[in-house]
Amino acid sequence: MKLFKRAKDKNVHILIVEDDKTLNDAYRMILEHAGYLVDVAFNGEEALNLLDTLGQDPDIILLDLRMPVLDGIGFLKRFKPKDHPDCDIVVFTNYDSHKDIEEAYSLGVGRYVLKARTSPRDLLHIVERIGSEKAVA
């Protein structure tokens, strides 16, 4: 069995926005192990503050929807993905209602993933694919 592949381009920067600490830790460990640069936030407000401090958009944001303080939809409304074309947002949630999906897409989200159906391997495939799409572009 192969180890997780190391990311070819280690400069891909990913922001994880997830309120569950255990899950947030898991995603960080998986992505860091694969060689990505990772920042974490535990709700939408924290994510916005962090983005302000960084002064530069990450390449990918993994965004949970249901979070305290400021939820994923609230974050999207303030972050306005359409103003950040170089930043890919993957909505990473366990809520799969039409309403959530429609709203996230209408706010400019590119991908929608059901967390419970996503293994570490699937997660790496998703970010790897986005990374390679960016490299081609």
Partner 1 sequence: MKRVGINYDTLFHALPGHYLVMTPDGPDFTIVEVNDSLCDLANMNREDVINHPMSKVFPKSGDKESDAGADMLRESIQRAIDLAKPDNVGVIRYDLKDDDGNFVRKLWKTINYPIVRDGSVKGVILSTDDVTESFDSESYNKQRLEYLEHLIEINDSKDEFISVASHQLRTPATAVKQYLGMVLGGMFGELDEMNRDIIQRANDSNERQIGIISDLLKVAQVDSGKLSLVKEDVDLGQLVREIVQDQSEMFKKRDQTIELDVPKQAINAKIDRNIMRMVIENIVDNASKYTEEGKRISITVREDDDTAYVAVTDEGVGIPRQMLGKIFEKFSRVDNPLSTKVGGTGLGLYWAKKSTELHGGTVIYEPARPRGSIFTISLPKQPTVVEAEVVVR
- Give contact residues for partner 1 (rule: CB under 8 A): 1-4, 20, 22-23, 26-27, 29-30, 33, 66, 94-95, 97-99, 102, 115-121, 123
* Choice between 16 and 51, CB closer to partner 1: 16
What's the residue count for the chain?
137
Give me the least distance between CB of 26 and partner 1, in Å please: 4
Q: Among 66, 68, 88, which residue's Cα sits nearest to residue 79?
A: 88
* Choice between 2 and 82, CB closer to partner 1: 2
Packing angle of the helix pair 98-106, 72-79 (nearest 10 deg): 20
Give me the least distance between CB of 91 and partner 1, in Å please: 14
Give me the least distance between CB of 84 and partner 1, in Å please: 26
Q: Where are the alpha helices (DSSP H) in 8-119?
A: 21-33, 44-54, 72-79, 98-106
